[in-house]
Amino acid sequence: MSVRIQPIQFTTDCKDQNFDGIILITQNYEQLPNELECLKAPLQDYSAVDCCIKDEVVVLRVPGLPGNRLVCSCTGPVNRDYDDVRRFRDAAANGIKRALKAGLQRPLLVCPPNSSYAKNTLVAVLGALHVLYVPLEVREHKSSPHKVATLGIWVKNKEQGDGIIELANALESGRFVYRDIGGSDPERMAAPRVAEYVQSVFKDSPVKVTVVSNLNTLEKEYPCLAAVNRCANAVPRHQARVIKLQYCGEGPIEQTLMLVGKGITYDTGGADIKAGGIMAGMHGDKCGSAAVAGFFQILAKLKPKHLKVVGAMAMVRNSVGSDCYVADELVVSRAGRRIRVGNTDAEGRMVMVDLLCEMKEQALQEVSPHLFTIATLTGHAIRAMGPKYSIIMDNGAARRAGNDLEWQKAGEVLGDLFEVSTIRREDYEFHKGKSEYEDILQANNLPSSATPRGHQTPAAFLIMASGLDQHGVDSAKPQPYSHIDIAGSSGPFPGVPTGAPILAMAAKYLKL
């Protein structure tokens, strides 16, 4: 499996006849840079007969331009209190959709720089590339892997062009891997096939991949994950895999990121079955692990120095059947905590917690480590913040370092947005054992969306059941840890996964 993203190229000439139409993305066509002066008059002309030009995508015939065509997609205002760089992404997505309908095969995207947004052109390119992605199952079914022959990008000079091509290729290839894993159906991306895919993507790359498939090892090392896998394990093609990845940049390591991703290949809910039609869409419950793989793909492309990244993808199917784990079972976590299962649909925290514990053990040997869990964890995340925003929750050490706000800020650069949420004492209280039998209660018996603080309490569970509570700010060795809930932001259903939060991660850690 090679990662073959949509081919892209830049030009400094907006009349470059190598292309067959221009897609203009702008806040205001009256204020175009000198190099684009030729686009102004036709748009002024057109606006005399159609006042919709600022709200809707229009297609004009303009002799002399590539393909004699101009597609104009205005962003609308971009500088009000509530505007952000997504205006450029959305306008580009709308523009390219219209261009595809018009039959363009070599579109030239023109998005002049905007002084308020350092990366608006790159964001527009990424918006277009998102639309141009061809899903894995479609690629495997049809012969053509691309929707257009090439996507052109207009830039002011070669230096800007080289930079934008390098970043767009790297970021898009990360999202490509993410979408392939996260968006594909539960059989095409069953755990063993995700492992195959990841091994083939990172073959001959600086990313090392190891796959744990032995049942005895899974049961011994990751008992909570093994409890969820117990039912699926009876079906060989659904058996769990833990996929470990490692990237070590050149030069002395200054920082180590340790990422655990939730990879539920399908979530039936288990014995607490998702009834009444709410199971559909649960093939997307592997987007946390898809984010881990996608971020490594960006690392493989950009090869940042001084950075080490360790990743673990917890690929498990939460099946229902005679051998499924059930509420009331007691499971002892890797950290030696007795956990009472409360709801089998709270499987995401179960498959991640022992991997988080293992990372915590390893972190003691790493330079400046920061632990993360990334997961489509709770319906409550969507209830609380809506369907478009990731949520970051820091533990004490991470929060004192200002991590959550830095992530939020980094996310704004490329339009991969975050809400900051806080883990409170009630969240720890909530997960304390309720009887002598257990140390920790995994979950209450209600869906998270019907539970107060339903997206925050799982972060406390992960900290308690992994033993990270021994590494708080009051300890000798505090360990920064952040939990990221992407249940809302990872993508629409039905639809193509977004790639959240890997653009924010790239902006934060790769100094774009």
Active site residue 477: no
Question: Please, what is the minimum distance in Å from the beta carbon of residue 27 to Zn ion?
Answer: 42
Question: Please, what is the minimum distance in Å from the beta carbon of residue 458 to Zn ion?
Answer: 11
Considering only the stretches 49-57, 71-79, 244-252, 347-355, report the one whose residues sit in contact with Zn ion under the rule CB under 5 A. Answer: 347-355
Active site residue 119: no
Residue 417's Cβ-count burial label (10 Å; 0-12, 13-18, 19+) is: buried
Report the C-alpha gap between 457 and 120 in whole angstroms. 36
Q: Bridge partners of 229? A: none
Report the C-alpha gap between 339 and 329 in whole angstroms. 8
- Quick one: 121 or 343, whose CB is closer to Zn ion? 343
Question: Please, what is the minimum distance in Å from the beta carbon of residue 496 to Zn ion?
Answer: 22
Under a CB-based contact definition with an 8 Å cutoff, are residues 392 and 404 in contact? yes
**Geometric angle at alpha carbon 151, from 150 and 156, rounded to 5°:** 130
- Quick one: 345 or 427, whose CB is closer to Zn ion? 345
Considering only the stretches 243-251, 260-268, 298-306, 430-438, report the one whose residues sit in contact with Zn ion under the rule CB under 5 A. Answer: 260-268
Both tokens of residue 250?
Answer: 């050149």
Q: Is 434 helix (H, G, I), strand (E, B) or coil?
A: coil
- Quick one: 345 or 419, whose CB is closer to Zn ion? 345
- Quick one: 183 or 284, whose CB is closer to Zn ion? 284
Among 180, 267, 438, 485, binds Zn ion (CB under 5 A): 267
Contact pattern from residue 304 through residue 343 relative to Zn ion, giving x for each residue in contact according to CB under 5 A and a dash for the rest: ----------------------------------------
Antiparallel, parallel or unpaired: β 369-375 and 255-267:
parallel
Residue nearest Zn ion, CB atom distance: 345
If one asks whether residue 345 binds Zn ion (CB under 5 A), the answer comes out as yes
The count of other CB atoms within 10 Å of the CB of residue 328 is: 10
The count of other CB atoms within 10 Å of the CB of residue 235 is: 12
Backbone φ, ψ for residue 366 (5° rounding): -100, 160
- Quick one: 360 or 453, whose CB is closer to Zn ion? 453
Under a CB-based contact definition with an 8 Å cutoff, are residues 201 and 293 in contact? yes
Question: Please, what is the minimum distance in Å from the beta carbon of residue 477 to Zn ion?
Answer: 33
Under a CB-based contact definition with an 8 Å cutoff, are residues 374 and 484 in contact? yes
Question: Please, what is the minimum distance in Å from the beta carbon of residue 430 to Zn ion?
Answer: 18
Question: Please, what is the minimum distance in Å from the beta carbon of residue 227 to Zn ion?
Answer: 13
How many residues make contact with Zn ion (CB under 5 A)?
3
- Quick one: 349 or 453, whose CB is closer to Zn ion? 349
Tell me the Cα Rg of the chain: 24
Catalytic residue, from 69, 86, 119, 274: name it.
Answer: 274
If one asks whether residue 485 binds Zn ion (CB under 5 A), the answer comes out as no
Report the C-alpha gap between 113 and 510 in whole angstroms. 22
If one asks whether residue 358 binds Zn ion (CB under 5 A), the answer comes out as no
If one asks whether residue 172 binds Zn ion (CB under 5 A), the answer comes out as no
Q: CA torsion angle for 372, 465, 444, 474 (degrees, to 10)?
A: -80
Contact footprint for Zn ion (CB under 5 A): 267, 345, 347
**Residues carrying an active site annotation:** 274, 349
